[in-house]
Amino acid sequence: MIKNDQKPIGAAYVRVSTNDQTELSPAAQLREIKNAANADGVLIPEEYIFIEEKGISGRRADNRKEFQRMISIAKSHPSPFQYLYLWKFSRFARNQEESVFYKSILRKKCGISIKSVSEPVMEGMFGRLIESIIEWFDEYYSINLSGEVTRGMTEKALRNGYQAAPCLGYRAVGEGKPFIIDEKEYEAVILIHQSFFNGMDLTSIAKEANNQGYCTKRGNPFDRRAVERILKNRFYEGTVTWNNISFQGAHEIRKEVTSVFQANQLRLKQEYRPKNRREVSACRHWASGLIVCGYCGAGLSYNAGSKTGHQSGYFQCWRYTKGLHKESCSISDKKAESLIIKSLQQVAANPAKGGEYIQIPSSLPYLEKKQLESALEKLRIKKHKIKAAYENGIDNLDEYRAGKERLLKLETELKNRLDSIEIENETSPRTIRSVCEILTDETISNEVKGRALRSVVKKIVYDKKNGEMNFIYYIQLP
């Protein structure tokens, strides 16, 4: 095919479908691709061989890392390869919309020819038509297969077959037979149900389970949520549930759990009080989010004293509260405030003392600015995508206009917020001394105090063992 001494460069994309048992292995696909490329006089270097992990679905392109890496390299100017070889067109995508979109990018914008080794089609309009028909059949096969699998699993569930992943304390034996007990794991299940029945709270149970060396089904330490899931799982009382289909299972259950199961469900309902949950965005204390645990580096969450039985509020490591590590790292809000203000006063008097310093690009609220800039960048990418969709015939003109107007409106809102941050920054505190004055003013809200403190402090590490706080400051502005 090619008469030149220097061969053109090609690439290979390989993906194996777990649903097709007769499909070639990745190595076999790659061998056939290289044979076809050699016959065409095309060289495929190792760095342009893209092989997905086994079992990755072709229904969505954003789930395929190697596919996205291939597209990213191909969009270089100019593209380092001119040909893309596949074993089948279905390896490229089983979603025809995505297939058309990405093939248009490769062919029209990158100048890359795409070839299916096992499904050769002629060049030109008729060849593209045949290729589209093949893609339609591939997508139909994928959708139909999904429906058949779901129907088969539903029928299996209606016949009391076991098919979900076994929960902690059980292991599967295959062929839809009842799960059997794993004695070591089931010890943790008994501990959790009996402890809760005897009055222990979820956090204490998680700590006790971790202390005794137990772990979750995935091998992780227990936390509150893991304990709660085990307490609520009806499988332990004999009920098997799959996709809203329930039946009384034939698997072994034990009285250590079944005798307390219903009582535990009643207690869980009584102690569930969603109305007491605060809004996530609420600023409960002006130091929230800045103080971290000296043991594990996790953030210290703030707890209001009036709601927890304490006389005053306090900070505590969230990993400790969920039972993920043993050492408590708590400090009262009054003591934390005193140490923070004392450090600010010392640094204001002598900047050379009091903490570690790091460079910050500007005095803007750094995190929010970066988030807004990131959101604007994502909007620019979306604008490019909807334009490409229109140019490739995926969207009509009305759909393109509606999408563009929506993105422009959101872009305006984000830019206005970014401008408002810059305006706020003109009056925001620029010195540690002014921040200290704001924190000691009782008439100023927590939100304003929090922004002021974050303008000069990056992080505060609380050393519970020595009762000290280590501060990391931004370089102080003049």
**Between 125 and 325, where is the model more confident?**
325
Q: 128 and 28 share a domain?
A: yes
Mean pLDDT in residue range 422-435: 58
**Which of the two residues, 181 and 176, has the higher pLDDT score?**
181
Residue 428 lies in a domain: yes
Same domain, 248 and 299: no
The model's confidence at residue 74, banded by pLDDT at 50, 70 and 90, is: confident
> Is the per-residue pLDDT at 362 higher than 50?
no
* Same domain? 302 vs 235: no
Residues 337-346: pLDDT tens digits?
999 988 888 8
Lowest-pLDDT range of 93-102, 252-261, 271-280: 271-280
Strand order in the sheet with 331-332: 300-303, 314-317, 331-332
Active site residue 363: no
Examine the domain organization and report whether 201 and 253 are in the same domain: yes
pLDDT at 68: 84
Asked if 447 and 357 sit in the same domain, the reply is yes
- Whole-angstrom distance, CA of residue 143 vs CA of residue 90: 13
Question: What residues contact residue 121 under an 8 Å CB cut-off, 6+ apart?
Answer: 127, 128, 130, 131, 134
Predicted pLDDT of residue 21: 44
For residue 9, the model assigns a pLDDT of 92
Kindly report the average pLDDT of the chain as a whole number: 77
Predicted confidence (pLDDT) at residue 4 exceeds the cutoff of 50? no
Answer yes or no: do 327 and 348 share one domain: no
Residues 6+ positions from 455 with CB-CB distance below 8 Å? 363, 365, 428, 429, 430, 435, 474
Per the domain annotation, does 149 fall within a domain?
Answer: no
Model confidence at 185, pLDDT cuts 50, 70, 90, reads very high
- Whether residue 77 sits in one domain with residue 15: yes
In a domain, 162, yes or no: no
14 shares its domain with 139: yes
Q: Is residue 80 part of a domain?
A: yes
**Residue at 61 is within a domain:** yes
Output 103 or 46, whichever has higher pLDDT.
Answer: 46
- Choose between 334 and 22: higher pLDDT: 334
pLDDT tier for residue 97 given thresholds of 50, 70 and 90:
low
Lowest mean pLDDT among 59-73, 215-229, 329-343, 452-466: 59-73
- Residue of 17, 90, 142, 455 marked catalytic: 17
44 and 110 both lie in a single domain: yes
Does residue 300 form part of some domain?
Answer: yes
User: What residues make up the domain containing 231?
Assistant: 170-276
Structure token digits, residue 305: 């004293």
Does a structural domain hold residue 329?
A: yes
Report the CATH number at residue 110.
3.40.50.1390
Is residue 292 within 8 Å of residue 316, measured between CB atoms? no
270 in a structural domain: yes
Task: Report pTM.
Answer: 0.43
Give how many domains the chain has, as a whole number: 4
Same domain, 328 and 350: no
Cβ-contact 227, 263 below 8 angstroms: no
